[in-house]
Amino acid sequence: MSARDEILANIRQSLGVTGAEAPRRLDVRERLTQAPAGITPARGQGEPAARAAIFKTEAMRAQASVVEVASAADVPNEIARYLREANLPATLRMGEDPRLAAMPWVATALELAHGASDGHDLNGVSAAFAGVAESGTLALCSGLDNPTTINFLPDNHIVVVFAGDIVADYESVWKNLRARYGKGEMPRTLNFVTGPSRSADIEQTLLLGAHGPRRLHIVMVREG
Amino acid sequence: MSAHPTSAHFKDNAHEALRDASLQKALVHVRANFIARRAEAAQRLPEFEALRDSARDIKNHTLAHLDLYLEAYEAKVRELGGEVHYALTAKEGVDIVLKLCRERGAKSVTKGKSMISEEMGLNQALEAAGIEAVETDLGEYIIQLRGEAPSHIIAPAVHINREQVEDEFRRAHLHLPRDRDLSQPAQLLGEARGVLRDKFLNADIGITGANFLVAETGTSVIVTNEGNGDLTQILPKIHIVIASLEKVVPTLEDTAQLLRVLARSATGQDMSVYTTFSTGPRRSQDPDGPEEYHVVLLDNGRSSMLGGEFEDMLRCIRCGACMNHCPVYHAVGGHAYGWVYPGPMGAVLTPTLIGVKEGGQLPNASTFCGRCEEVCPVRIPLPKMMRHWREREFERHLSPATVRYGLAFWAFFAKRPTLYRLATDIGMRALHVMGRAKGRFAFLPFAGGWTRYRDLPSPEGATFQSQWRAKSRALK
């Protein structure tokens, strides 16, 4: 008997079942297809403007910096300003996200690089799939548009999130994911990011910038 | 394969821990930080208590259907091009990982923090096979340099002071200038970041644990603050997930419920910084991510816990709240528990995983104050289960002779109420007369354990029962 069969047999013996019982199988099938929601906190709920405000407050509680701009066209200038004021070089790596590609980068002096990061980039920008108001969390999906390496390797991670993509809770992210990828399907990597990387492993002192980005800067775009 | 347990010597370990000044200094941080942070996070979310019920119910439902959810999870991972390996024992788990490493000629492995890896003794096995295994969580990296086991399930180096980290880094990082300043924690963190960055970029295989395995989507979920787990799982060509069976949950919705109680109970954050959902190997269009994705599912005795008096323990989501709130853990730290899992959850789990003979002492490491159960996000009745173990230890004649004879002596009287009352009446009167002069005893036969540290007040002359009877009569 394989380890797999032995383990499943042990489980069934302990539970006093055979695995063939129709009601149990039905219970499991229904749970997997219907995916019932449990308790969703009231905190993130509300009108779009209220949700965006909560998202901003919660993200800042997690030590992210957040700036609002009126439209997508303002994003390159805002990022250039942020890098300049933080005394960082005017370089920026990004994927092929069409929303980012459509922005007027030429109006800035930013030196752009495209594709996955190999660990030699100081600054990276991604477009978020969603922002979650209840905890100020960003949801980022992997792919050519937004390579996962950009979320972790650069020292400074800038994330653009459109106000229309700010949702109340994690359950709303699942709903939107299913609409894009299909029920039961996921992008290869989905990252929930809440603030910049940190560690408290030395004497419980909280320090930012462990292995991931030292800074997380969120640019909220009001239109769209 | 796992580290040799010293749990049977808990008492000696605990004495040693109490005398260890540097450990006692470090343990202050546990009491000072974790309790207040959890309380604040719980207080800030009105739905927190309802979410704990929800988390408990999800785990119970999953455990009652564990065979079917494992089959569903496995089918989904395979459908996406990943592989699932089952391991009945820790040794089988190690052999699977070693085989994967050897077949691919791996020389260097980076590791995200995983208690299952500790349970399997994976690092020792990899080193013995000539494969460099580098722990990348800062705390795990520090204790790996020191050749130690973690002393806490989410803060593995909580027993170590800053000076000790500096000593270790100076000893290990010989390629760096000798006169560098490492007096601040931030400088130590920066140095570890630099050293480990090279390891991340050059590793052949990345090994992580999993907080959850989602049956609906075939996804493994890790929750970290540093980002080390992510660099471990997206940079190398091969990602191996090692997880125990009970990590499976039905759906993304269920995962969200559990995530809402996990970080709040652990560190007091609403969410840990990185919660990452990995589904299969990289796809044809993907510019990054692993080309191979393997999951090793470890049983190691868990399938036998189902349906029994320790089944509730399988709900545990490894947040560490029970040890953060435990007066015994606060006093002796994690290493005294002698194996992989410390604190109340360790006291219950260890005997089931390594046997009552080796681990049976641990359920005695409790004052039964009940704080662990009060804060457990999935409401595991930890004190009740420690009592189950104590009963088993007694039944198997594993408790010390003094305890056994003492209990037999007490039981003889307890079963004979008239005799009990008579004996205690006489005893209390006698002690009252003997202690009248000073009002206390500095020494008393059979009570040396008490009087060594403090005096015993002299009794008032009548037992509680006789006073109760007298007062009841007076009221009538």
Interchain contact, A31 vs B251, CB within 8 Å: yes
CA–CA separation, B200 vs B112, rounded Å? 11
**Closest to A192 (Cβ–Cβ): which among B46, B88, B271?**
B271
**Closest to A147 (Cβ–Cβ): which among B26, B253, B288?**
B288
**Closest to B201 (Cβ–Cβ): which among A4, A119, A207?**
A119
Which of A199, A214, A215 is the best residue to mutate to test the B interface, defined by the most B CB atoms within 10 Å of its own CB? A199
CA–CA separation, A71 vs B3, rounded Å? 58
**Which residues of chain A neighbour B257 with C-beta distances below 8 Å?**
38-39
- Nearest Cα residue in chain A from B274: A193
Q: How many CB pairs under 8 A join A and B?
A: 265
CA–CA separation, B262 vs B249, rounded Å? 14
CA geometry: angle A193, A138, B42, nearest 5 deg? 70
**Which residues of chain A neighbour B66 with C-beta distances below 8 Å?**
11, 15
Task: Give A148 to chain B, closest Cα distance, Å.
Answer: 7
Interchain contact, B304 vs A43, CB within 8 Å: no
pLDDT digits (tens, 9 = 90+) for B72-81: 999 999 999 9
How far is residue B326 from each of residues A19, A101, A201, B305, B349, measured CA to CA in Å?
Answer: 40, 54, 20, 24, 16
pLDDT at B469 over 70: yes
How far is residue B386 from each of residues B119, B296, B389, measured CA to CA in Å?
Answer: 21, 30, 5
Interchain contact, B256 vs A171, CB within 8 Å: yes
**Which residues of chain A neighbour B61 with C-beta distances below 8 Å?**
31
**Assign residue A67 a region: left if phi > 0, alpha if psi is -120 to 50, beta otherwise?**
beta
Token pair for residue B469? 């009877």
Interchain contact, B234 vs A149, CB within 8 Å: yes
Which of A142, A146, A172 is the best residue to mutate to test the B interface, defined by the most B CB atoms within 10 Å of its own CB? A142
pLDDT value of residue B447: 81
CA–CA separation, B260 vs A38, rounded Å? 11
- Nearest Cα residue in chain B from A115: B287
**Which residues of chain B neighbour A59 with C-beta distances below 8 Å?**
none
pLDDT value of residue B1: 37
- Given a contact cutoff of 8 angstroms between Cβ atoms, the answer to whether A138 and A131 are in contact is yes
- Nearest Cα residue in chain A from B291: A188
What is the rounded average pLDDT for all residues in chain A? 97
**What are the helix (H) ranges across chain A?**
3-15, 22-34, 48-61, 75-85, 98-101, 149-152, 170-181
DSSP A44-90: T-S-HHHHHHHHHHHHHHTT-EEEEESSGGGHHHHHHHHHHHTT--S
pLDDT value of residue A138: 98
**CB neighbour list of residue B277: distance below 8 Å, 6 or more residues apart:** A186, A189, A190, A191, A192, B214, B217, B219, B220, B221
- Whether the CB of B112 is below 8 Å from some CB of chain A: the reply is no
Task: Give A115 to chain B, closest Cα distance, Å.
Answer: 7
Token pair for residue B467? 């006073």
CA–CA separation, B362 vs B365, rounded Å? 5
User: Hey, which residues 19-58 in chain B have their CB within 8 Å of chain A?
Assistant: 26, 29-30, 32-33, 45-47, 50-51, 54, 58
Predicted confidence band at B3 (pLDDT cuts at 50, 70, 90)?
low
**Which residues of chain B neighbour A7 with C-beta distances below 8 Å?**
86, 88, 245, 297, 299, 303
CA–CA separation, B457 vs B442, rounded Å? 9
Least-confidence region, from A71-75, B180-184, B333-337, B364-368: B364-368
Each residue's pLDDT expressed in tens, for chain A with a length of 224 residues: 899 999 999 999 999 999 999 999 999 999 999 999 999 999 999 999 999 999 999 999 999 999 999 999 999 999 999 999 999 999 999 999 999 999 999 999 999 999 999 999 999 999 999 999 999 999 999 999 999 999 999 999 999 999 999 999 999 999 999 999 999 999 999 999 999 999 999 988 899 999 999 999 999 999 85
Interchain contact, A32 vs B215, CB within 8 Å: yes
**Closest to A152 (Cβ–Cβ): which among B156, B227, B275?**
B227
pLDDT value of residue B199: 95
- Given a contact cutoff of 8 angstroms between Cβ atoms, the answer to whether A138 and A50 are in contact is no
- Whether the CB of B139 is below 8 Å from some CB of chain A: the reply is yes
